[in-house]
Amino acid sequence: MELKIQHKSDFFDQASWEQLYVITNYWKSDLCFYGDETSFLKHLVGKYSIWLTVSDNIEWVQQVTEKLNVCERFKDDLLATIARHMGHIRGMVENPFVHNEQKFREEHAQLEEDVVDYVKSHRSLKKQVFTITEKVVESEKLHNLLGQNNNS
């Protein structure tokens, strides 16, 4: 599934406040799901990192853990921005003449770009976690086998 940036068309200029609210709420839901995935990956990496014996593996796991933390902070910042944005939508509905509609629509387009950037980086990080996990498991198995053979 490839993400599209909708503001390349006239959608954001023509969408109703209700449509923009629904889209924003959809982004919020997606980000919460990705947050659950990140939490799971952090738990998975943390739980098994205590058994690592190869120093390169320990370093890789520390790097990926830091990337997961950065990803989580990015998601938290986006969720806070989305909450403010949803408040702006409610404000536009309640009193449309007080707010700058064009500025709001530009904010919405920027928020979509930020969400797309987050999703792309989350997917990339998830692939990195799986790749590193596979390499680490194989490396640790080999290290343990070699260690057992040397002790025999």
How high is the mean pLDDT in each 10-residue block of the chain (152 residues)? 52 84 96 96 83 78 92 98 94 82 89 96 94 79 64 48
d(CA 147, CA 120): 40
64-107 pLDDT, tens per residue? 999 999 999 999 999 999 999 999 999 888 887 777 888 888 99
pLDDT computed for residue 144 by the predictor: 67
pLDDT computed for residue 152 by the predictor: 47
